Structure 1
Amino acid sequence: MEFPAASAHRGLVPWLGLLLAVYLLAFWIPGTTAHFAIVQTRAVEGQDVILRPEYSGRETANLDGSLTIRNVTASDLGIYGVVAILPHNEREIGYGRLNVYGPVSVPTLVASNTTVTENEDAVVMTCYTKADFTSWLHNAKSLQLGKRMKLSWDHRTLTIDPVRREDAGNYQCKVSNPFSSFVSAPLELVVKY
């Protein structure tokens, strides 16, 4: 069931979310310690998502109370709220988060230099991507960071200073979101000694 005003109000709400009023036709028992929230949802841009309220108590909802957002975009990311209007005009408010992820594409790996001299040179490798998560591979295995290796805050840049012969080999960056992942083409680092 789509909330009729959802498209008209998208982007006009001052806080990160949209308040959706849901009328519960169930009998509310006073003193119940129920949990009322929106199920946390993840989506890829372009998907349709349905935000559903969840209840953890003795109450039941006779109406669906869901909100459909068609063709979700990054601007739809945020906190959404739901209000249950109970008997005697009491209100129960619940919140949930919608995470929206952009599509992941194959990253490009670039190095400051691919042929270096042991204990003299440093190398900086940069993984070009818009993905949310980045990890590194060395010779097709997960890279174990040593004392001479540093990652940037977003994990997209790897610095090795100074380079040693055990650092030689193929490097790749792996990018992902909860829906997909891709690995860059291998970049060979040659270490002269």
Structure 2
Amino acid sequence: MEPRSASPRRGCVPWRGLLLTASLLALWPPLVTAQLTIEPVPPNAAEGQNVVLKAHNQPPNAELYRWYKGETAEESHRLAAFSASSKQSIPGPAHSGRETIQEDGSLFFQNVTVNDTGVYTLDILDRDFASKRASGRFQVFEPVTQPSIQASNTTVTEQQSVVLTCHSTDPGITIRWLFNEQSLPLTTRTKLSKNNSTLSIDPVRREDSGEYRCEVSNPVSSMKSNPLRLDVNYDPTQSSSDLSPGAIAGIVVGVVAGVALIAALAYFLYSRKTGGASNQRDLTEHKPSASSHSPEISRDDAPNEMDEVSYTSLKFNAAQPKNSAPVPLTSVATETVYSEVKKK
């Protein structure tokens, strides 16, 4: 037998399912219809090009396409209208003969001019007479003309200043500076004006010598000026050293150390030379006198010592007969003999 509580539980199940279904339906987001948009192709065009304002997310039951110049759907600004059912196009008051509405509702521009720049609006009417509207914009540019460049001085000396100016009559341009055919790197010495038309270098250095150009451009074209040569002369009164203080201090210390080393070497050589001369004088002073009467032999115990030469003088009196009369001392003949004795 089933418990009594089983029957009530079975009766509650359908009601819970209905409540869950209702909750999901309440939370489910409603279907959102894709918004009508306009895409200009290209958004920036040069004079003489063709432009298409492409329509996206058109309603499937569209019946009438109407294009207007401007942000409002005023009849006086209507370019053309196109019927989807009859495939017929009806020109409007603002039609110039160069605008065509395509079957998908896009607007085709032929041979655009600068005056065609602006906003365009598409209004779509479906079979239920519901209207959808969207706008798009494109811009037409003239090709830029060649700019010219002018300098305050083309030959300057180091530490002076120079100003370069780029001249152009084209509107809506961007200016870029070139140095030796490369984009000019900006430093603390180079400054550009707000619109980049003026380049100032202060102070100039010799590495600033070279060719300068300015380039003007817009979204559809660009042109470079003729090169201008800037010459920077050397200024002998100015130091052109780019060494850091630490490098300069290192060089000074190295020079001082080198001078001290050379001085020490010179002193060593001088001391050695003077010491050798003193030793030679000592050897000379120790030689025995030439007038010594007794020979003296010196023993040399040190090996490899230099030979020492001594001179000894001997005096002999001439022999006389015994019986002869004494001869005065002053008349005695003497003879001096020098002998050389080597000590080893």
Give, as a single letter, the amino acid of the residue that structure 2 aligns with 1:117. T
8 Å CA contact 1:138–1:172 kept in 2: the answer is yes
Q: Residue 65 of structure 1 aligns with which residue?
A: 105
Q: Residue 142 of structure 2 aligns with which residue?
A: 102
Using the TM superposition, give the Cα deviation of residue 39 of structure 1 relative to its aligned residue in structure 2, in angstroms.
2.4
Find the residue that maps to 2:135 and give its secondary structure: strand
Give, as a single letter, the amino acid of the residue that structure 1 aligns with 2:125. I
Between structures 1 and 2, the one with greater strand share? 1
Q: Residue 44 of structure 2 aligns with which residue?
A: 42
Equivalent pairs counted in the alignment come to 164
Structure 1 pair 127–58 and aligned structure 2 pair: CA distance change class (3 A) = same
Find the residue that maps to 1:89 and give its secondary structure: coil
8 Å CA contact 2:36–2:132 kept in 1: the answer is no
1:83 aligns with 2:123: yes
Structure 1 pair 129–188 and aligned structure 2 pair: CA distance change class (3 A) = farther
Structure 1 pair 82–151 and aligned structure 2 pair: CA distance change class (3 A) = farther
| Mapped partners of 1:48, 1:89: distance in 2 | 32
Moved more, 131-140 or 32-41: 32-41
Structure 1 pair 39–190 and aligned structure 2 pair: CA distance change class (3 A) = same
Using the TM superposition, give the Cα deviation of residue 84 of structure 1 relative to its aligned residue in structure 2, in angstroms.
2.3
Q: Residue 156 of structure 1 aligns with which residue?
A: 197
TM-score, normalised relative to structure 1: 0.70
Structure 1 pair 128–35 and aligned structure 2 pair: CA distance change class (3 A) = same
Q: In structure 2, which of residues 208, 218, 233 is the aligned counterpart of residue 192 of structure 1?
A: 233
Using the TM superposition, give the Cα deviation of residue 137 of structure 1 relative to its aligned residue in structure 2, in angstroms.
0.8
TM-score, normalised relative to structure 2: 0.42
Moved more, 141-150 or 118-127: 118-127
Using the TM superposition, give the Cα deviation of residue 113 of structure 1 relative to its aligned residue in structure 2, in angstroms.
1.4
8 Å CA contact 1:36–1:92 kept in 2: the answer is no
State the superposition RMSD in angstroms: 2.9
Give, as a single letter, the amino acid of the residue that structure 1 aligns with 2:141. Y
1:182 aligns with 2:220: no
Q: Which runs of 5+ in 2 are unaligned?
A: 1-30, 63-83, 85-102, 235-344
Structure 1 pair 83–150 and aligned structure 2 pair: CA distance change class (3 A) = farther
| Mapped partners of 1:58, 1:113: distance in 2 | 66
Give, as a single letter, the amino acid of the residue that structure 2 aligns with 1:113. N
1:167 aligns with 2:208: yes
Using the TM superposition, give the Cα deviation of residue 129 of structure 1 relative to its aligned residue in structure 2, in angstroms.
4.7
Q: Deviations over 1:73-127 (max 9, x none)?
A: 2222122222222354333222222111111222212212111222222323324
Q: In structure 1, which of residues 115, 136, 139 is the aligned counterpart of residue 155 of structure 2?
A: 115
Give, as a single letter, the amino acid of the residue that structure 2 aligns with 1:121. S
Q: Deviations over 1:10-31 (max 9, x none)?
A: xxxxxxxxxxxxxxxxxxxx73
Find the residue that maps to 2:207 and give its secondary structure: helix
Find the residue that maps to 1:52 and give its secondary structure: strand
Give, as a single letter, the amino acid of the residue that structure 1 aligns with 2:196. H
Using the TM superposition, give the Cα deviation of residue 149 of structure 1 relative to its aligned residue in structure 2, in angstroms.
2.0
Find the residue that maps to 1:39 and give its secondary structure: strand
Q: Percent identity?
A: 42
Find the residue that maps to 1:75 and give its secondary structure: helix
Between structures 1 and 2, the one with greater helix share? 2
| Mapped partners of 1:34, 1:71: distance in 2 | 30
Structure 1 pair 58–76 and aligned structure 2 pair: CA distance change class (3 A) = closer
Larger Rg: 2
8 Å CA contact 1:129–1:175 kept in 2: the answer is no
| Mapped partners of 1:140, 1:177: distance in 2 | 20
Q: Which runs of 5+ in 1 are unaligned?
A: 1-29
| Mapped partners of 1:161, 1:80: distance in 2 | 50
Structure 1 pair 64–168 and aligned structure 2 pair: CA distance change class (3 A) = same
